Structure 1
């Protein structure tokens, strides 16, 4: 699943993939793969991304799923 919320948050902070990658210590390709839904980041990386984008884990990485009961 694509991570549109992360991409939107990055754009709102006026950061390129490369700039965000530099802030969190990964490659631009890693950021691109996370946004494309092709890479599951570690919890440590998720936290670093959240801090760089001033967002919460829930806000960026938790999937909104409606549960049927």
Structure 2
């Protein structure tokens, strides 16, 4: 490892992974918040690694993303996503309307 290279903290890895998985699903922070039962601004602060998030809230986000908790803090790079689940998208679209670029 390079002397100046510091590994990402668990909080930073979680933030990056949540954002990548959310974007891969085409979800806004508002959609992820709705599906996880959390507030949109809370999701934003998690994605910016500003929050020392509780295990209970990590579990809520993991369930919404249909992703195991360990995958959210794994040190390896995420593999390309195939067949990303879209659970809840229709319900959120009905509630908030369609987003540009979606059917």
TM-score band (shorter)? 0.7 to 0.9
Structure 1 residue 51 displacement after superposition: 1.0
Q: State the alpha-carbon separation in 1 of the partners of residues 50 and 65 from structure 2.
A: 20
Query: Which protein, 1 or 2, shows the higher relative CO under an 8 Å CA cutoff with sep ≥ 6?
Result: 1
Structure 1 residue 63 displacement after superposition: 5.3
Q: Quick one: which of 60, 70, 87 aligns to 1:58?
A: 70
Structure 1 residue 6 displacement after superposition: 0.8
- TM-score normalised by the chain length of structure 2: 0.56
**Unaligned stretches of 5+ residues in structure 2:** 1-11, 76-103
**1:36 and 2:51 correspond:** no
- TM-score normalised by the chain length of structure 1: 0.80
How many pairs are equivalent? 64
RMSD: 1.7
**Unaligned stretches of 5+ residues in structure 1:** 65-69
